[in-house]
Structure 1
Amino acid sequence: MERRPRPNQALRDLLAEAGMTAAELAAEVNRAGAETGRTLGYDRSAVAHWLAGTRPRAAVLGLVTEALSRRLGREVTLRETGLEITAGATADVTAAPDERPGPVSAVRDPGRTHGEPVYARDLPVPEHSAPVVLRGPLGGPDDRIERFEVEAAEAMALVFHDADASFGGGRGRRALASYLTADLGPKLHRPAAPALRRRLMRVAAQLAYLCAFMHFDDHAHGRAQRYYHGALRIAAANNSLLDRAITLRGMSVQACQLGHVRQAVDLATAAADTVTGPAVHRAFVQGQLAVAHALDGRVGDAARALGTAERLLDRSPDPASAVSVTGRYHQGSLLRHESAVREILGDPEGALRTLRVAEHHRPSGERRSRAVVLADLAVLQLRAGRLNEAVETGYRFLDDYPHLMSGRADKALGDLRALLRPHARHPAARALLLHSARVVPGGGPRRGR
């Protein structure tokens, strides 16, 4: 006689703790799957099967724990979900959803086999002294790196940075990944004069960081994390504490967005303990540390980090005009951090007021950041009951949105539309909803996310 599965009370308890419905868990699993290049079709009935005692396919188990971890702000293990593999476990084959390769897999990133990797909460951060293994023999004396090759890589770094800031990470992340693999990577195997090698390693670390950030911006979180780790290893090989600190700071931003608060604090703290160099870079790190502390409920620590960032930025000569691929920070960035801290700590009016000022300090070339700030501002205005202001801000966000290929911008649009729907009877809100439904991101068909 076939054994009937036992109801999964552990998963039911986790859903109750997280305040999630079965449909919401299914949606979060689908969203985490999209980050890995999979198009999943789970719905509330699939989760009902899991609650009844069946298990999703093995490849999906990590997505379930990640979705619950993000909602709860702590690490959820597979054992806690009651979905771990046991002798009597029953696989859920009756409710198997559609699982086709998503749009991310249309063009393969170097090294990918079956979709993007999943973000790993327990992936160890390489020590600063961790070596970088350069596979393959070094070239001979006739194969030495020339100065123009490093200058070309530095020029490419600025091109990729400016394209990302103006058009979003989805526009060029695959191109940058290919450039790192096919062009810049092989140069790390060749001999070079010491000073030239340091420049080459510096630009390689910066481009690995930028590639990570572009993947993060487009919600390919697992691969973003791995490029961040690559940037850390190159920084270690080049003995660059600054590149290490900037990368750790980027990893903290990613952990914040995914709800891994303890990890975000640890990464930002490590960045602050490591950072060296110009005051603007130290301010860049302290601003993120303030946000991480606020999410962790450490009000005093958040205020101190924010104050430190402000003092450091005041000591920086015209930081907005600095030509750098990583670590750019200016008054608009600081004010956005202050707004985030105020919102997290329960001061929505202060957050709204600060973010409105932040928008006016955003340089014109930072279209993606401006769009995300405008979307955040519209959300704060809606929550404050300022519908007409939110509608006006929403239209300005939609002016930028068609130029972008960015998972963060896509999510910002979705959040804005969700908050507008309860006001759909208001003529201005209805008009904005209709307009937003016609806007296409990135100059192409609307992407499924």
Structure 2
Amino acid sequence: MHQWLNGHLPKESARPLILEALSRRFNRPITSSEAGFPPSPEQAKQSAGTVDGLLDLGREDMDPSRRSVLGAGLFSVALTIPGWRDVVGRIDAIRIDPQRRIGQPEVQAVTAMTERLSDLDDDFGGRYARPMAAAFLVNTVAPYLNANSSSETRKSMLSAASFLCYLTGWMAVDEGAHGRAQQYYLKSLELAGASGDHMTYGHVLRGMSVQAANLGHGTPAVRLANAAAEASRDSSPRIRAFMAGQQAHSYALAGEKTHALNSLRETERAVNQAESQLGTFGGFRSATLAYSTSEVRYASGDTKGSIESLHDHFRLRDSTDMQRSKLIFSSLLAERQLQVGHLEAACATWNTVLEEYPAIHSGRIDGQVARIASLLSSYRSNPVARQTSERSRELCPK
């Protein structure tokens, strides 16, 4: 830093950290030019066309040697999110290749492949699925976006590509590549706007709020959750619950307890109004409501209440719920059980996680398992705690 103040540019690898620190200090985005830096590769990516920027992102994920660890992992609380008016209609700016033509079968293929990738992500974690998703984006979907087609097919393909891009960003979050995830999310918003797809646009904003909330950034999480709810205000009760539940969690993290409780009540009303989860976007139901309630209670300081709600969540889960979320939520339950002094209950919960952990390749679960030994370090005299700690060390990635 002192070299920078003396007129020498900091190393390129350090500049994103400096810009993020300045942005957090002034609570607004600070650009490279404002800080006196030349444009960064990430800014060049953002200014590139939607398809070109998506190709750059995907190619980096396909080739691990090209990944920037710092840039990939750095989450920005001051990221500028494009509004609907900023992204709608960008379909006109996409170059069309007259030699290639696509129809609804190609759209259906992208949708089906996205569902398969989502299943792999749910069952095995983002580390396995993300390179495949990136390769599919680069080698198949991007050329489809440039292909000649009817207006209806083009919008459908843009919408399908938007959700695949969002899913790839979700996988990046799971791996801990938070900066990379934000880049995918921004491209997904552009594609959703280009296709006129309000539903996916709101879904992506909600995903960005979940990311911010899981990292403990309450105020940005509220901003994103509210934007998602605004984009989805004319939707079904299930979707209103999907959005309001995230608003409740975000408000609680930001210390706005009254708003959090109001949003939680709105979530409950919407769940009760929803007749069936079949065919709905987001699948928000009673088990999800119990999890949202747990997060609101925990963020509000009610750890015991949070544990009760997590138990409700597991009681209401069914066989269609994803394996990864089961292990993530079980790990949260164990940590909270330990916080209220229920050592043996915590160890029992952790042991259910460790039983299934080897089959999951998730950065978030890796981090949760890596914490077990340190959380139990004060209880080494207890044989159950000692056995659980040693087991976690054996399974934890080196």
Please classify the TM superposition score into its range, dividing by the shorter chain length.
0.7 to 0.9
Structure with greater Cα Rg = 1
Aligned-partner Cα distance in 2 for 1:323–1:169: 24
List per-residue Cα deviations over 1:164-215 (Å, max 9, x = no partner).
Answer: 1111111111210121121111111122233333322221111111111110
Aligned-partner Cα distance in 1 for 2:252–2:318: 26
| Deviation for aligned residue 1:85 | 9.1
Structure 2 counterpart of 1:115, one-letter code: S
Deviates more, 1:169-178 or 1:255-264: 255-264
Shift in alpha-carbon separation, 1:75–1:260, aligned structure 2, 3 A: farther
The structure carrying a bigger helix percent of its residues is 2
List per-residue Cα deviations over 1:349-369 (Å, max 9, x = no partner).
Answer: 111111111123334341100
Alignment of 1:109 with 2:61, yes or no, is yes
1:126 counterpart SS class: coil
Alignment of 1:434 with 2:386, yes or no, is no
Deviates more, 1:335-344 or 1:254-263: 254-263
| Deviation for aligned residue 1:134 | 7.6
Aligned-partner Cα distance in 2 for 1:200–1:149: 8
Structure 1 counterpart of 2:286, one-letter code: Q
Aligned to 2:13: 59
Aligned to 1:295: 253
List per-residue Cα deviations over 1:68-125 (Å, max 9, x = no partner).
Answer: 79xxxx92369xxxxx999xxxxxxxxxxxxxxxxxxxx9415984515233333211
| Correspondent of 1:375 among 331, 353, 356 | 331
Residue pair 2:358, 2:395 contacting (<8 A) in 1 also: yes
| Correspondent of 2:24 among 75, 79, 83 | 75
Q: 1:230-245 maps to which residues of 2 (within 5 A)?
A: 230-245=187-202
Shift in alpha-carbon separation, 1:144–1:85, aligned structure 2, 3 A: closer
Q: How many residues align?
A: 359
Aligned-partner Cα distance in 2 for 1:226–1:134: 22
Alignment of 1:388 with 2:340, yes or no, is no
Shift in alpha-carbon separation, 1:331–1:156, aligned structure 2, 3 A: same
Aligned to 2:356: 400
| Correspondent of 1:328 among 283, 291, 307 | 283
Aligned to 2:216: 259
Shift in alpha-carbon separation, 1:61–1:191, aligned structure 2, 3 A: closer
1:76 counterpart SS class: helix
| Deviation for aligned residue 1:418 | 2.2
Q: TM-score, normalised by structure 1?
A: 0.73
Structure 1 counterpart of 2:255, one-letter code: G
Deviates more, 1:359-368 or 1:154-163: 359-368
Residue pair 1:374, 1:394 contacting (<8 A) in 2 also: yes
| Correspondent of 1:350 among 291, 295, 305 | 305
Aligned to 1:132: 90
Aligned-partner Cα distance in 2 for 1:362–1:151: 30
The root-mean-square deviation of aligned C-alpha atoms, in Å, is: 3.0
| Deviation for aligned residue 1:160 | 0.9
Residue pair 1:171, 1:404 contacting (<8 A) in 2 also: no
Q: 1:137-286 maps to which residues of 2 (within 5 A)?
A: 137-140=95-98, 143-275=100-232, 276-286=234-244
2:96 counterpart SS class: coil
Aligned-partner Cα distance in 2 for 1:301–1:85: 37
Residue pair 2:216, 2:253 contacting (<8 A) in 1 also: no
Aligned-partner Cα distance in 2 for 1:174–1:438: 27
Structure 2 counterpart of 1:59, one-letter code: S
2:90 counterpart SS class: coil
Residue pair 2:107, 2:157 contacting (<8 A) in 1 also: yes
Residue pair 2:373, 2:390 contacting (<8 A) in 1 also: no
| Correspondent of 1:415 among 371, 390, 393 | 371
Identity %: 30
Residue pair 2:127, 2:361 contacting (<8 A) in 1 also: yes
List per-residue Cα deviations over 1:266-324 (Å, max 9, x = no partner).
Answer: 111111111143221221111111011001111111011111111112222332xx357
Aligned-partner Cα distance in 1 for 2:214–2:352: 24
